Amino acid sequence: MKTHALSNRRSLLAAAALAMILPGATACAEEGETWESFKARYMQPDGRIVDNGNGGVSHTEGQGWAMLLAEAFEDRETFEKVWTWTNANLARPDVRLFSWRYDPTAEPPLTDPNNATDGDIFIAWALLRASERWRSEDYARASAEIRGAIGRGLITQIAGRSVLLPGLEGFAGADGVTYNPSYFVLPALKAFAQMDPAGPWQATIAGGLELADLALFGQSALPSDWVFIGVDGRLAPAAGRPPRFGFDAIRAPLYLVWGGEKDRRQVRSIAALWRAGFKDDKRSPAWIDVMTGEVAPYPLSNGGAAVAALVLADVGIAKWRVEEPNYYSSVLQLLAAVARKDLGRKRIGL
């Protein structure tokens, strides 16, 4: 199976995670991330979101997250800036999707034309929510175009299930496909299904929920960051990548809970791991090898703790510790906050 540079992006997060933790730092910060502090740290005046943990690059994931956050925090000016930059700089000329990585130090800055499906999903979902909030036909039209491209090019049939491919290229082969559980953004897919009941979304939701119950590995029954799905239905951690419940898979339970599926087996398994790990002012490790049980020598970041607090329905565990400001940790804190807000308002999807 062809590999692609897109699959290496979370390898960079392992190094970035080390920078999130100050050695020996256990003191609590006064507060977690806020939308205003996020913008001040990571957004440039033109709307580009800077991933400071990965050398200052930008990617569709970050742009889509920022658009979703801007809508949730009712910040139309920022939403428009981020969307305008994204559409001008990352839109592909051949299909209504987006090139996933932008490196301002490279020439040309689009160093990889492939898309990242979760980035496209968040962009489309943010536009859809924004079209409802601000009554914008332009946002609604753009969202519909992107949703159509996702439905046509990024959903495949494998072993009797409809599943999301992580990108247009590099993830499907004769023997099966590579799947990323954290790209299954359930509340977004539910919103898409609400807008287009005859589309592929209900089948894709069903396939993803099946995998959330079945693609669990090791003694603790955890999802790995990347999963191989064979044409015969075999499920295994994807070859060539560390078999970890790590920096990708931490988002999988966030999206399931956000989408109203807190009782799924995947969520229960992860909740059990975290419940055991958050004791005596200690945090669970940042990753665990699902096959060997080896754990990271450093704990979850503040962002990881915020996700755990949402999954465990226990805000008390997310005591903010001193850590170097890091884009990914900050994003996770804010996404967990928006998920909690949506669930409190019984807003799933739209």
Active site residues: 61, 118
Q: Which residue has the tokens 């970035």?
A: 16
Long-range contacts from 279-285, C-beta under 8 angstroms, 24+ separation: 281/26, 281/319, 284/308
C-alpha closest to that of 5 among 181, 172, 153, 170 = 170
* Gap between the Cα atoms of 146 and 333, Å rounded: 27
- C-alpha torsion angle, residues 30, 33, 184, 179 (rounded to 10): -90
What values do phi and psi take at 91, rounded to 5? -65, 130
Cis peptide before 181 (omega within 30 of 0): no
- Angle (CA) 128-166-191 rounded to 5° is 25
* Gap between the Cα atoms of 325 and 147, Å rounded: 33
